[in-house]
Amino acid sequence: MSKQDILIDFCGLLAQLADNLAVLDPNTILAQNIKLVHKFIIDEPIKIISGFKLYVLKYKDMIYSKDENFFLNNSYKNEVKNNKGDMSEDFIMGQILNVKTIWKKLDNDTKDSIFTYAIYLCQLTEKYFE
């Protein structure tokens, strides 16, 4: 699998995850800006996967073990520097990861699905940066 193929798969999967999260809570910043999120994923795929590597991959053990604390107890404020609300990789990654407001309302199948996305995104990121 080429780096380009990995990047395409990563961005497609991240866009699907963003769409699914936006549907779960249409009042989130993510849901209200889903078109801009998609545009940024398409326009800046290398920034997005690099941001995932920087901000998320360090938590891969929590993700692989499906530790709900990854979503519930992390604020990502230290990881995500951008508080201005513009569409940067920092802001987008923070919004996609910030599901704590709805996490407790989700059924186990939905939680498992979100973890499955996160696991695949971690695996693709590792492959891309090998």
Q: What pLDDT is attached to residue 83? A: 44
Altogether, the residues listed in the chain come to a count of 130
Name residues whose C-beta falls within 8 Å of residue 65's C-beta, 6 or more positions apart in sequence: none
pLDDT in tens, 68-87: 998 888 755 555 554 444 44
**Entry pTM:** 0.85
CA angle 36, 13, 103 (to 5 degrees): 80
